[in-house]
Structure 1
Amino acid sequence: MSDPFVFIVHVTDAPASARFYGDLLGISPAFASPRFIAFDLADRVQLAVWSGAAEVARSTPRTSEVCVALPGGPGVIDERYRAWVAKGVEVVQEPRDESFGRTFVVADPDGNLIRVAPVD
């Protein structure tokens, strides 16, 4: 049995960020405290937002990203892009073709990057 994985995104306001991610991904928290909120993604895999670390400045460079991998080809990627733009997300990179397929990048309210790409 493998150990559980929790991918933590540092944010300034955990409840606000949890609402953002919950709405964007269509999921509800599995665990919530005032500064740490986790979402179950798969068996033993979670995505969490945490505001307990040092204050996160919007100007801090982001060197990692959460990736949502979608099956179904370029049309599905473009459809998700349009749906998220309709929600008012900040677009960092519009849809384009890369060596791994169609992709785009948006940012959460703290500037953390969220990429959408095809399933490998």
Structure 2
Amino acid sequence: MPSQNYVLFYVESPAASATFYRDLLAREPVETSPTFALFALDSGLMFGLWSRHTVEPAAGAAGGGAELAFTVETYAIVDATHADWQARGLSILQAPTTLDFGRTFVATDPDGHRLRVFAPMPEAEGAQ
């Protein structure tokens, strides 16, 4: 089976979204054009931002229909990332909370796509 190593978000403005993600991810895109931008993430995942106006074949869904999750190591990093993203002005849909899988919060990008940061529940707690 082919490798699943790309995620694409359909966005209003690839240039504006590339600027948002360049600042958020602290990295430059590896590819840009008027209708597309691509980031290479540390995990090996390629993260693309494609103009919703030029994607072929045309996509029926508006923005905000996807979620990109970022795994971090500790609950403290979840809380620190939340504070950082809130200070940057990201819209927060869910404040940091502990759920059955661990600690998480959810923010949105300018197109309404959900950005989840989470730390898995520590093994000792999850085994109960």
Provide TM-score, normalisation by structure 2.
0.80
Moved over 2 A (4+): 42-45, 52-57, 60-64
Q: How many pairs were matched up?
A: 116
- State the Cα distance separating 1:44 from its structure 2 match: 4.8
Cα separation, partners in 2 of 1:50 and 1:56, compared to 1, 3 Å: farther
- Work out whether residues 11 and 56 of structure 1, in 8 Å CA contact, stay in contact via their aligned partners in 2: no
1:48-77 Cα shifts (integer Å, max 9, x gaps): 1111335888xx484430001111x11110
Name 2:17's counterpart in structure 1. 17
2:39 corresponds to 1:39: yes
Q: Which amino acid aligns with 2:14?
A: A
> Contact between 2:101 and 2:120, CA under 8 Å: does it hold in 1?
no
- Structure 2 vs 1, CA of residues 91 and 44 (structure 1 numbering), >3 Å: closer, same or farther? closer
Identity in percent? 33
User: After the TM superposition, which of the residue ranges 40-49 and 28-37 deviates more from structure 2?
Assistant: 40-49
Q: Tell me the residue number matched to 2:115.
A: 114
Could you say which structure has the larger radius of gyration? 2
Q: Give, in angstroms, the shift of residue 45 of structure 1.
A: 2.3
Amino acid paired to 1:64: A
Aligned CA distance change for structure 1 residues 85 and 44 (closer, same or farther; 3 Å): closer
Name the counterpart of 2:71. Answer: 69
**Counterpart position of 1:95:** 96
Structure 2 residue ranges without an equivalent (≥5): 122-128
Cα drift, residue 119 of structure 1: 5.1
Q: Structure 1: 5+ residue runs without aligned partners?
A: none
CA distance in 1: counterparts of 2:72 and 2:88, whole angstroms:
19
Question: AA paired with 2:70?
Answer: V
Q: Is the 8 A contact 1:10 1:56 kept in 2?
A: no
For 1:29, give the aligned amino acid.
Answer: P
Who is 2:126 aligned against? none
